[in-house]
């Protein structure tokens, strides 16, 4: 039985079967090292680390916006702002952080904030138990 001829013209549409999760982090290496451990076939983590000391809340938001504007994203892809609160919740910086978080909400970016004091509290509670 002879093989069926296949047309030379192929669909030019690209298909991506993985969800993209883009993370802007204040850290330079830790977030990248953490997410590199995940071996998910249907999820691709892309960490946008801090370079040249640009770790302000606005810098993280700018990195997310730049990535979203530069690369083709699809429905279901997620963008995450991951920042620390230790320095940015002080009175002279809180307005900047609040403004950035409002922009994240408007753009449907996820927000993950850490507070080291709270994390230390969890460690101390677990030792007492």
pLDDT of 13-56, one tens digit each? Answer: 555 678 899 999 888 888 888 888 888 888 889 999 888 878 88
pLDDT higher than threshold 80 for residue 82: yes
What structural domains and CATH numbers belong to the chain? 19-115 (3.40.50)
Buried b (16+ CB within 10 A) or exposed e, 18-39: eebbbbbbbbeeebbeebeeee
């Amino acid at each position: 039985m002879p093989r069926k001829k296949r047309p030379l013209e192929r669909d030019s549409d690209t298909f991506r079967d993985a969800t993209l999760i883009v993370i802007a982090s204040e850290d330079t290496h830790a977030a990248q090292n953490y997410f590199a451990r995940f071996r998910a076939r249907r999820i691709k983590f892309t960490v946008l680390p801090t370079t040249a000391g640009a770790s302000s809340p606005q810098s993280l938001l700018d990195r997310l916006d730049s990535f979203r504007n530069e690369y083709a994203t699809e429905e279901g892809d997620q963008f995450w702002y991951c920042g620390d609160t230790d320095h940015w919740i002080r009175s002279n910086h809180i307005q900047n952080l609040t403004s950035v978080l409002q922009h994240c909400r408007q753009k449907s970016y996820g927000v993950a904030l850490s507070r080291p004091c709270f994390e230390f509290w969890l460690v101390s509670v677990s030792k007492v138990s």
